[in-house]
Amino acid sequence: MHYIKAVVPLTGTRLFMALESGSMLIVDLSVRPTFVRFQQLADTDLFASARTDGDYVIWGNGQIRITARELMEAVLIGEA
Instruction: Give the residue among 65, 60, 54, 6 at the shortest CA–CA distance from 32.
Output: 65
Domain containing 46 equals 4-77
Per the structure, how many domains does the chain have? 1
CATH code at 23? 3.30.2020.10
Task: Identify the band that residue 80 occupies on the pLDDT scale cut at 50, 70 and 90.
Answer: very low
Distance, CA of 13 to CA of 72 (rounded, Å): 15
User: Model-level pTM greater than 0.85?
Assistant: no
On whether the CB atoms of residues 4 and 55 are closer than 8 A, the answer is: yes
pLDDT above 70: percentage of residues in the chain? 88
